[in-house]
Structure 1
Amino acid sequence: MSMTMYSSDDKICGWNYVCPNIDKLQSPDALGVTITRCVAVMYLYFQFRDLKKMGSRYLLAISGLFTMFSSFMFSLAVVNLFKNDYTGLNEALPFFLLLIDLSKASALARFALRSTSPDEVQYNIAQGMAILGPIITLDAIVETLVIGVGTLSGWKGLETISCFGCLSVLANYLAFMTFYPACLTLVLELCREVNHGRPVWQLHQLMHKEVEEGQKLNPVIQRVKVIMSAGLMFVYAHSWWLAKNAKTDDSKEEVIIIDPTIAHKVKPEIALWQFYLSRMLNADHAITLLLAVLLGLKYIFFDVDIDTEFQKCQYASEESQTVIGDVEPNNSLDNNRNDPSSRVQFSLGDENLEQSVKMVTAATQTPPGNLPALVRLKSHQIARSTEECLEIMKSEDGAKMLTDEEILALLDQKLIPSYKLENILQDYERAVYIRRKMISQKLDNIDVMEQLPYTSFDYSTTHRVCCENVLGYVPIPLGVAGPLLLNGKNYYVPMATTEGCLVASTHRGCRALSDSGGVQSYLLQDGMTRSPVVRFACAEKAMQMKFWLEKSSSFQFVKEKFDETSRFARLDKLQVCQAGRLLYIRFIAKTGDAMGMNMLSKGAENCISALKEKFPEMEILSVSGNYCSDKKSAAVNWVQGRGKYVVSEAVVCEKVINGVLKTSAATLVDLNISKNLIGSAMAGVQGGFNAHSANIVTAVYIATGQDPAQNVSSSNCITLMETTGPNNCDLYISCSMPSLEIGTVGGGTNLHAQSTCLRMLGVQGPNTENPGNNAKTLAQIVCAAVLAGELSLMAALAEGHLVKSHMLHNRSFVQGSSQSTSHPNLVQSVSSCNTLSEDTQYQTNIKLTS
């Protein structure tokens, strides 16, 4: 086909126009032209195959070709502006086809395929353009410069082809950088259903992997391209300089000129379509056409297994059809899972396109925070047999290729243990969803878990660390008290609690203490404990070992065995207690910034094993003999201490006591003696000589990722008050807490929310400069917060404000709205609850001052 039909109005060589020198412009090697055309067809075929590997038979390739065709037509339109005769470009058409690089379209499509929902398509395409843009720009520059070398050849035909090729490359670059991203976004927006049963989340993983591999650029290749571009620019500059200085008579360039007086129009003898048909039936055109038809048939009917990785993402059964998405608003994930109207469906398939366009769902109205973090498999037809499912589990891809229903069936048959779902599926959130569904089916109310959230949580921080058989998480309100001036520095104390007035009351105590000069806190002792229990044949044997352990040389032996188990744990002392033939060995050690129970257990176990070699008759009963004592009210912790032993003190001036606390120092001292000291003694409490230290300890522990169960010992506290000052109108208050079991690394401190609270206090993680200082500081903050809570509550009790404040602020307005509205006088009478001044923000204990 002559290219002049595009460059002139009605001149078609060989049909209605005589071109005498056309043979001089055409390639003399017909065989070479035919081979070039066949290579171009093969090249396009393999480009289509690459795009087919991503799951699209036609749409992506057609969109890419349409972009290339648009740039091609744009180039022709620009050429036509010059009104030159470009007869002979038909021989260069295969060369132009070789310039079409659909790998660029494929690379950008991979970024789009990383999207788990339509909302992410535009963002991922933009991200892909940001990464691929510089690479494509450099490639376009290099191609233009390389092809442009032909313009220096002096051969008119080659110069024409090279000029047109350079223009095509630039037009193709502009079209790809502007038109193709919009075209790709539109294509993906129209395709929202699964093709051939392929789950999109599997495709997403594959594309993510391919994109990561594609981003691994070879710096050598990029450097060579830059050097090549610079060299070609030098060649162009040198050629231009030579051409400028060359003399006209020295030029021996052979130029082929078509004499316009000889070239003339003729009357066509046959119709135009017959002319083109006769040209196509020529041997060279027929071979190219036949090859194109054969490759097209092969692509449509025979290329069904071109990508083994993609085939692994499909179901083994052709009857099984899967869907994805299952977007469930308002966390009602279990109830809406079977509702097609609440499901986002997104894929690349071009089959059933009309149906997929109709499936624009209501999920676009779902807030982003309620969208599930993963896309799941779900079967709408008969599930595969148990034997097939077990075979799939043994394959390389494993259980992640099974549908939710198939996994539930295996759970019911006890073929999969529920607690191993995370390891089997390698998908934490999907494991949690399936476990929720399994439990819900066994409850009377299958919708009981609707209000229990489980999405938008990083379960990797809890797996094998904090919790097992996870069903979700329980949100707890988080408040803040402060600023609390402690040791010359202000702290804002996070408190997670469901008890009304607790945060507000502690906040008031923090203000009273800060206005009086702050709190001083001291660490008296640091040592976590673990106490194994061993047994001997008789009490005498046990006594012999007890005396041996109390020797300094023996302690050094035990210390070496203990210290070798950890970089941070260091044994300080041993406390040995005997009961009959039983021996309790209490190991006391520093554990850095960790709470240290695991360190103590590991070290104690290693020491007991070493002692077993010296005392073969010794029988090891347990690594913990309750003489530690852990998570139990124990006198040994109250007397000897466990963890951090902290004392905090402060002097509250008379002005603050009267203005903020609305009481007097003498009243507080009298109440403290009657309540915290004598009252606790009458009750026979151990370590409970305080008003409510457990409230503050537990709230801070939950907020900072500590073990809440350890508030049993950690809440051991004695609160002392004395009058002081010139007129004994000021108040001296102290809190002594001998067993604060606390740390800033390990356990729940690794959770994102809890670690954020630790960062608020400036103690998150280990202290690299002084190991252990972060945990010590946190213990002092807790003790000072307890001091603030004790001061505020005691003042409220002294003036009779406790019940009034709780009636107003610690009752549920959702359940008790009728009571609150039916007693307006009560609401009015407690408007100044919690002993707050009417001329300050403390008039209601919900408002907090900074």
Structure 2
Amino acid sequence: MSVREFQPLFTWGFKFHRSQFLVPLLSNNVFMSGNEAVNSGTSAGGWAGDALSEMLQNELTEGQNVVRAEAQALRGAEAAKGAMLDQAAELAANKVPADHCVAMGADEVEAPAGGVRPLEVISQLPTSELSDAEVLALVVAKKIPAYKLEKVLGDCARAVVIRRMHLETLGVELETLPHEHIDYAPIQGACCENVVGYVSLPVGTAGPLLLDGTEYFVPMATVEGCLVASTHRGCKAITLSGGASSELLADGMTRGPVLRMPSLASAAELKKFLDDPETFAAVQAAFNSTSRFARLESVQVSVAGRTVFARFKAFTGDAMGMNMISKGTKKALELLQAEFPDMIVVSVSGNYCTDKKPAALNWINGRGKSVSVEATISASVVSKVLKTSVDALVDVNISKNLIGSAMAGSVGGFNAHAANIVTAIFLATGQDAAQNVESSNCITLMEKTRDGDLYMSVTMPSIEVGTIGGGTHLQAQSANLRMLGVKGPNRDVPGSNAATLARIVAATVMAGELSLISALAAGQLVQSHMQHNRSSQNLAGAAATASN
């Protein structure tokens, strides 16, 4: 008879420890320790103490053997890893003969046969003939810069592994940072340098969102519980009410170099030159010559003493366009330099663009895509789906988003949480996440119609998105763009894919605004966040605290 036959007795939370364990033996509702039962000679069930002791000892011995084996394997792996890193460091100092190298499993490093491999030798060999440990030794010895591993090895994945090994020799803990199961080739030279792994983010979908007659399931990458669920509710309310419609009001990326002239008079002359339609045409031609898609639309000039700020604005097709417009601006500045030899280009970016910083200029004049979206939400949907009333929504929106933001001196922040939705979509679709600063400029408006329904709109003057370039070509981000039907350039109507993405961003922001303001109007915000951000145990604790 095995002790396993008494498994129900061991499901009450007791754990075995060597020579000290508990066996729940019911005898007049009194528990006896396993050692006491054995020493007494009989168990509460009448079994001989020796037999019970033998069964328990067998169970313990089996478990201890498994634990010992696992511990030994773990110690072996750690020792091998440490030996490999020590070996690389010593090899960098020419101390280790090649036949003393240590094998390392999946990232196995094996020394070539034939004795010592000093740095002078391995540094002359192709990296394809070197083990990972030898390449690491060259990195440690500063023969190969760590940031050049991809170029030197011609293998991005191997470069990541060796760079991680190098950092481990410096005491950096990277074990739990993922680095496998990803294609690093598209990242090289485009998205990131000194790559050691990646951060995985959960992606949820909100929708369907009916926009301009098309339904979209919008991908959102976030670690904020409740965000996707709330936005999804807003999408439902919009779709049930007939959907939203959008308008693209303007489309042009900007770059604002800062120029210095000899005097205020010469600065004024430069401004006149750029303001004159005839001379502007020459600047425009120079700018447009740098790209098949970039088309200069305007140059806005401001003067501060002898310093000139020129804000070049150009259509950039389906690309977000920063590189494109920078290239065109440089060419235009060459023409201006020929006309004004004393002009000094202080910087191709003079913060007059304005990129990745709050600025009234972007709020007033726009940057990237300027989009406005509207929808009418029926009173019944407001009541049944959003659990509030039209009057309450209008009141909260005016008090919070308009008056509250004005009292705070906000620039472009006349909304509840546009940045939440913008950033989540940006991360999911490979946009420049730092551009959420200006892309989140938004004013949310709500009013009650004559029929008692809710009319709402969001206007966002500076959404900066692209469907080519940047991180849009990475596998996961490409998949999310395909989900929206806007992956890559639109060959028939250049720029329309990026414009559609901007419209989707604005419409999803409206869905998020609608749901959050409804939660505030109904007093649901704290409860919903506790439900989606915390465990039920924490929720109960918060409720108990709130009741005190």
TM-score normalized with structure 2 length: 0.79
* AA at the equivalent of 2:352: Y
The alignment partner of 1:797 has SS state of helix
Partner residue, 1:518: 243
Alignment CA distance shift 1:677-1:608 (3 Å): same
Question: Alpha-carbon deviation of 1:614?
Answer: 1.0
Structure 1 residues 482 and 335, CA gap change in structure 2 (3 angstroms): farther
Aligned partners of 1:383 and 1:406 also within 8 Å: no
Whole-angstrom distance in 1 between the partners of 2:428 and 2:330: 32
1:736-755 alignment runs, 5 A limit: 736-755=459-478
CA contact (8 A) 2:448 2:454 kept: yes
Going from structure 1 to structure 2, the CA distance change for 1:819 and 1:666 (only over 3 Å counts) comes to closer
Which amino acid letter does the alignment assign opposite residue 424 of structure 1? V
- Equivalent AA in structure 2 for residue 748 of structure 1: G
| Partners of 2:426 and 2:432 within 8 A in 1 | yes
Which amino acid is the alignment partner of residue 215 of structure 2?
A: N
The structure-2 alpha-carbon separation of the partners of 1:408 and 1:721, relative to structure 1 and needing over 3 Å to count, comes to same
Return the alpha-carbon distance in structure 2 between the equivalents of residues 732 and 440 of structure 1: 58
1:438 is matched with which residue?
166
Counting only pairs closer than 5 Å after superposition, residues 630-669 of structure 1 correspond to structure 2 as: 630-669=355-394
The residue aligned with 1:702 is 427
Q: 1:614 to 1:805 in 2, by over 3 A?
A: same
Q: Which residue of 2 aligns with 1:689?
A: 414
Letter in 1 for 2:242: G
CA distance change for structure 1 residues 675 and 821 in 2, over 3 Å: closer, same or farther? closer
Residues 380/820 of structure 1: CA separation in 2 closer, same or farther (3 Å cut): farther
Q: Aligned partner of 2:294: which letter?
A: A
The equivalences for 1:255-654 within 5 A come to 338=81, 377-379=109-111, 384-392=117-125, 398-443=126-171, 448-654=173-379
SS at match of 1:479: strand
Shift of 1:399: 1.5
Query: Could you tell me which residue of structure 2 aligns to residue 771 of structure 1?
Result: 494
SS in 2 for 1:494: strand
How many Å separate the matches in 2 of 1:440 and 1:553? 62
Shift of 1:576: 0.7
Q: Aligned partners of 1:510 and 1:503: how far apart in 2? A: 10
- Aligned match of 1:713: 438
Q: CA RMSD in A?
A: 2.4
Query: Could you say what secondary structure the match of 2:217 adopts?
Result: strand
The code of the aligned residue for 2:384 comes to G
Residues 704-730 of structure 1: per-residue CA shift (max 9 Å, x gap): 00000000000000000000132xx21
Q: Which residue of 2 aligns with 1:725?
A: 450
- 1:529 and 1:642 in contact (8 A); partners too: yes
2:59 matched to which residue of 1?
A: none
Q: Could you tell me which amino acid in structure 1 is paired with residue 133 of structure 2?
A: E
Instruction: Specify whether residues 823 and 596 from structure 1 end up closer, same or farther in structure 2 by C-alpha distance, changes over 3 A only.
Output: closer
Q: Deviations over 1:591-640 (max 9, x none)?
A: 00000000010000111012111110001111111100000001100000
5+ residue gaps, structure 2, are: 1-76, 84-104
State the AA in 1 paired with 2:120. E
SS across alignment from 2:232: helix
Task: Report the CA distance between 1:413 and its aligned residue.
Answer: 1.9
Supply the distance in 2 between the matched residues of 1:459 and 1:383 (Cα, whole angstroms): 34
Aligned to 1:243: none
- Answer 1 or 2: higher relative contact order, Cα 8 Å, separation at least 6: 2
User: For the residues of structure 1 that align with 2:311 and 2:236, how far apart are their CA atoms?
Assistant: 41
CA distance in 2, matches of 1:383, 1:605: 54
Q: Deviations over 1:517-562 (max 9, x none)?
A: 0000110000000011110111111111111110011111001100
Query: Residue 391 of structure 1 aligns to a residue in which SS?
Result: coil
User: Which ranges of structure 1 fall in alignment gaps of 5 or more residues?
Assistant: 1-333, 341-362, 364-371, 393-397, 830-850
Work out which of the residue numbers 439, 457, 477 in structure 2 matches 1:734.
457
By percentage of residues, which structure has more helix?
1
1:796 and 2:516 matched: no
CA distance 1:376–1:428, shift in 2 (3 Å): farther
SS at 1:764 equivalent: coil
- After superposition, the Cα gap between the structure-2 partners of 1:530 and 1:820, relative to the gap in structure 1 and judged at 3 Å, is same
**CA distance in structure 2 between the aligned counterparts of 1:376 and 1:632, rounded to whole angstroms:** 47
Opposite residue 194 of structure 2, the aligned amino acid is: N
What corresponds to 1:781 in structure 2? 504
* Residues 284-329 of structure 1: per-residue CA shift (max 9 Å, x gap): xxxxxxxxxxxxxxxxxxxxxxxxxxxxxxxxxxxxxxxxxxxxxx
> In structure 2, do the counterparts of structure 1 residues 823 and 638 end up closer, same or farther at CA, with 3 Å as the change threshold?
closer
User: Whole-Å Cα distance in 2 between the matches of residues 502 and 772 of structure 1?
Assistant: 30
Provide closer, same or farther for how the CA distance between residues 388 and 584 of structure 1 changes in structure 2, counting only shifts above 3 A. same
Secondary structure, in 3 states, of the residue corresponding to 1:450? coil
Distance 2:402 2:79 in 1: 58
SS in 1 for 2:177: coil
Counterpart CA distance in 2 for 1:435 and 1:781 is 40
Aligned-pair CA distance for 1:335: 5.3
- In the alignment, the residues of structure 2 paired with residue 648 and residue 458 of structure 1 have an alpha-carbon distance, to the nearest angstrom, of 38
SS in 1 for 2:139: helix
Structure 1 pair 686–454 and aligned structure 2 pair: CA distance change class (3 A) = same
Give the Cα separation in 1 of the matches to 2:263 and 2:146: 47
CA distance in 1, matches of 2:519, 2:180: 41
| C-alpha distance in structure 2 between counterparts of 1:664 and 1:671, whole Å | 11
- C-alpha change, 1:336 and 1:489, in structure 2 (3 Å) is farther
Higher mean Cα deviation, 401-410 or 801-810?
Answer: 401-410
Q: Partners in 2 of 1:752 and 1:440 — Cα distance? A: 29
Match of 2:64 in 1: none
Q: 1:339 to 1:615 in 2, by over 3 A?
A: closer
C-alpha distance in structure 2 between counterparts of 1:580 and 1:796, whole Å: 51
Aligned partners of 2:404 and 2:230: how far apart in 1? Answer: 22
Output the amino acid matched with 1:670.
D
Q: Deviations over 1:330-376 (max 9, x none)?
A: xxxx9596499xxxxxxxxxxxxxxxxxxxxxx9xxxxxxxx7xx65
TM-score using structure 1 length: 0.51
Identity %: 55
Q: How many Å apart are 1:456 and its aligned residue?
A: 1.2
Q: Secondary structure at the match of 1:765?
A: coil
- Three-state SS of the structure 1 residue aligned to 2:457 is strand
- Once the two structures are TM-superposed, the CA of residue 770 in structure 1 deviates from its matched residue by 0.6
* Alpha-carbon contact 2:530-2:539 (below 8 Å) kept: no
Larger radius of gyration: 1
Q: What's the CA shift string for 1:638-671, capped at 9, x where partnerless?
A: 0000000000000000100000001011110011
Query: Which is further off, 449-458 or 756-765?
Result: 449-458
Q: Does residue 757 of structure 1 match 2:480?
A: yes
